[in-house]
A and B are shown apart, each in its own frame.
Chain A
Amino acid sequence: MFDRDPAGVRIELRGLTKHYPGQPAPAVDNVNLDIPAGELVVFVGPSGCGKTTTMKMINRLVEPTSGEIRIGGEDVLNLHPDELRRHIGYAIQQVGLFPHLTVGENVALVPKLLGWPAAKVADRVEELLSLVNLEPGAYHDRYPRQLSGGQQQRVGVARALAADPPVMLMDEPFGATDPITREHLQSEFAKLQKKLRKTIIFVTHDFEEAITLGDRIAVLRERSHIAQYDTPANILAAPADDYVAGFIGQDATLKRLALLTVDDVPAVGPVPSSNGLPRVDAGTSLREALDTMVAHGSDRCATPSGVLTYTALCEAVGTDGAKTGHEEVAAGDR
């Protein structure tokens, strides 16, 4: 099958349509999409826009009415659905850990379904629990009920990764956690994905999450029509229409600043010593740097490599810093 190589493979959707019997309009209408190998593509859209249905057609939890799905060039509709699903990672918002199985048994499920030898399964479970930052010795034999929401979501991700599938489908996998845990899980997951390079389809209605995690974002409207499909930076810089702009909200520029870090901007001047400038660490996003500057009433701040100016910030997002007044930016930062 397409998973001989655990690195991501390309997914192609062609004319993908789902029309439920008795419904006047199709739930998903003629979706055409190419998802490059090893990229994380976020489907973002309002509830009921068909994003989840589109995703579920890829592992055939929902059978398409018409159209074509190719994973790594292989026509998915010719494969046996159960067999297919064992080769695609799947994580959902409700997590769906089996309460009567321990964490270890939950993670081991798919490798066992695939008939891996017991020793290999055991090693893999250990490896995965460490990968999602759960100490295997402490968590292996616990039951899901004994874990916090965030820990359950981690186990959910570990379980989806268990058989090292090249493709993962994730339906708001961090949706059911509190904002702090959620942010934490997102940044951990982003790091993980940087390492693993799976092809991931990630469904969410949270545009912030889409920007944080996505290599590309597909903004969907009703019936899963694609309003725009591009990188987060491009969508923020040039939304295709009002619908997409509405999704982004009023602070598109701030969101773009959030995508860049102080390391992306050439710093000017010498490495400052303690000359009174507010300081930010390496890896700080430009948005946080701006926040620091505004908070200190300064138009520059010190980074480990030099001085970051307000003008440099504006140039980084393609606006002319000299023309825009400080007050305006401060007003936008509400």
Chain B
Amino acid sequence: MTADTIAIGRSGAPVRASGLRHVLTPAAIAVVLVALYAWVSTLELDSIERRSLNREVIVAKVVEHLQMTVAATALVVIIAVPLGIVASRSRNRFITPVILTAGNLGQAVPCIGLLVLATFVLGVGFQTALVGLVIYAVLPVLRNTMVGLQQIDPALVESARGMGMTKGQVLRRVELKLAVPAILAGLRTALVLTVGVATLGAFVAAGGLGELIINGLKLNRMPVTIVGGVLTACIAFFIDWLGSLAEKLLKPRGM
């Protein structure tokens, strides 16, 4: 809605409001991170805590976490968008329920269970965590791709066909373009989900911030758990913020 207003330049107020929102989120994240740092600095850390709460470990865990998230989401896009396109075609309406059920199942089954099952097949490590995450995060992107394509006014598709566009051209130039906002919204949801669920990667030795959380719990060191938890939350907020920027920038003009 705000992007429209910008495109038209009809009024200044919504632009300012959304501009404010786009500055507020990163500012809040920065404040939380500074507060976290300040708080940890005041603590007398024992040797166990020092082993987790130092720059090398934290940076390594954040990087692992982001790697998991980004890799899983990239795979989700590669899998879910084409599946969503297939499921939205009216001639495929017989397999649509199958695809949707599979997607729903992926999200309904507890991720930790999925990870354990995947361990039997793949052993522990990064790729195992990836499988679990992808299965878990496919649904929002799949669903939104489907919905985004199905909600397009049939008159647009008809007039595109009537003008002599091939089915492929209609899909690429009209349908997918108009479904971009819905697909991006699904992607944003998937990313945020993945950031949270990636903490479970620690259970299959894939690293990430989950390791801090679990170690803190196991060793009864609250500061370690809190740092892991807060950092995960901050990453989730930050990625959500990036997603909102992407939605705004990539949304087709004129809509």
Q: A residues bordering B, Cβ < 8 Å?
A: 59, 61, 82-87, 90, 92, 94-102, 109-110, 113, 143-146, 159, 169
For window 5-20 of B, CB contacts with A under 8 Å fall at 7-8
Determine the distance from Cα of A218 to Cα of B220 in the docked complex, in whole angstroms. 87
CB neighbours (8 Å) of B159 from chain A are 90, 92, 94-97
Q: Is the CB of B254 within 8 A of A101?
A: yes
For window 76-109 of B, CB contacts with A under 8 Å fall at none
Closest to A87 in B: B164
Min distance, Cβ A177 to any Cβ of chain B, angstroms: 15
Q: Is the CB of B253 within 8 A of A100?
A: yes
State whether A61 and B254 are in contact (beta carbons under 8 Å apart), knowing that A83-B164, A109-B163 are contacts in the complex: no
Determine the distance from Cα of A61 to Cα of B164 in the docked complex, in whole angstroms. 10
Contact with A along B156-198 (1 / 0, CB 8 A): 1011111111100100001001100000000000000000000
Contact with A along B137-158 (1 / 0, CB 8 A): 0000000000000000101101
Q: Is the CB of B166 within 8 A of A100?
A: no
Min distance, Cβ B176 to any Cβ of chain A, angstroms: 10
Q: Is the CB of A59 within 8 A of B162?
A: yes
In the assembled complex, B110 has its CB within 8 A of some CB on chain A? no
Q: Is the CB of B163 within 8 A of A86?
A: yes
Chain B, interface size category, equals: 20 to 34
Closest to B177 in A: A100
Q: Is the CB of B252 within 8 A of A100?
A: yes
Min distance, Cβ B6 to any Cβ of chain A, angstroms: 13
Set A92, A99, A146: member contacting B162, Cβ < 8 A: A92
13 A-B contact pairs sorted by A residue (CB < 8 Å): A82-B165, A85-B162, A85-B163, A85-B164, A96-B155, A97-B159, A99-B156, A99-B252, A102-B254, A109-B163, A110-B163, A143-B254, A146-B8
Min distance, Cβ A107 to any Cβ of chain B, angstroms: 11
In the assembled complex, B38 has its CB within 8 A of some CB on chain A? no
Min distance, Cβ B250 to any Cβ of chain A, angstroms: 12
Determine the distance from Cα of A83 to Cα of B4 in the docked complex, in whole angstroms. 35
By CB atoms of chain A within 10 A, which of B153, B164, B255 has the most?
Answer: B164
Determine the distance from Cα of A159 to Cα of B254 in the docked complex, in whole angstroms. 18
Determine the distance from Cα of A145 to Cα of B155 in the docked complex, in whole angstroms. 15
Q: Is the CB of B155 within 8 A of A92?
A: yes
Set A98, A101, A102, A113: member contacting B164, Cβ < 8 A: A113
Determine the distance from Cα of A145 to Cα of B158 in the docked complex, in whole angstroms. 19
Determine the distance from Cα of A88 to Cα of B153 in the docked complex, in whole angstroms. 22
Determine the distance from Cα of A84 to Cα of B166 in the docked complex, in whole angstroms. 11
Min distance, Cβ B163 to any Cβ of chain A, angstroms: 5
Min distance, Cβ B151 to any Cβ of chain A, angstroms: 13
CB neighbours (8 Å) of B158 from chain A are 61, 92, 96
Min distance, Cβ A116 to any Cβ of chain B, angstroms: 13
Closest to B163 in A: A110
Min distance, Cβ B132 to any Cβ of chain A, angstroms: 37
Q: Is the CB of B161 within 8 A of A99?
A: no
Min distance, Cβ B23 to any Cβ of chain A, angstroms: 28
Q: Is the CB of A145 within 8 A of B162?
A: no
State whether A82 and B166 are in contact (beta carbons under 8 Å apart), knowing that A98-B160, A100-B253, A145-B254 are contacts in the complex: yes
CB neighbours (8 Å) of B166 from chain A are 82
State whether A85 and B177 are in contact (beta carbons under 8 Å apart), knowing that A100-B255, A144-B254, A145-B254 are contacts in the complex: no
Min distance, Cβ B149 to any Cβ of chain A, angstroms: 14
CB neighbours (8 Å) of A83 from chain B are 164
CB neighbours (8 Å) of A92 from chain B are 155, 158-159, 162
Min distance, Cβ A77 to any Cβ of chain B, angstroms: 16
Closest to B155 in A: A94
Determine the distance from Cα of A82 to Cα of B164 in the docked complex, in whole angstroms. 4
CB neighbours (8 Å) of A145 from chain B are 4, 254-255
Set B160, B165, B169, B254: member contacting A99, Cβ < 8 A: B254
CB neighbours (8 Å) of A113 from chain B are 163-165, 169
Q: Is the CB of A100 within 8 A of B163?
A: no
Closest to B162 in A: A90
Determine the distance from Cα of A95 to Cα of B163 in the docked complex, in whole angstroms. 12
Q: Is the CB of B165 within 8 A of A98?
A: no
CB neighbours (8 Å) of B153 from chain A are 94, 96
Determine the distance from Cα of A92 to Cα of B4 in the docked complex, in whole angstroms. 26
Ranked 6 nearest A-B pairs via Cβ: A96-B159, A143-B254, A86-B164, A94-B155, A100-B252, A85-B164
Closest to B7 in A: A143
Q: Is the CB of B160 within 8 A of A96?
A: yes
Min distance, Cβ B247 to any Cβ of chain A, angstroms: 15
CB neighbours (8 Å) of B169 from chain A are 113
Min distance, Cβ B74 to any Cβ of chain A, angstroms: 25
Determine the distance from Cα of A100 to Cα of B152 in the docked complex, in whole angstroms. 12
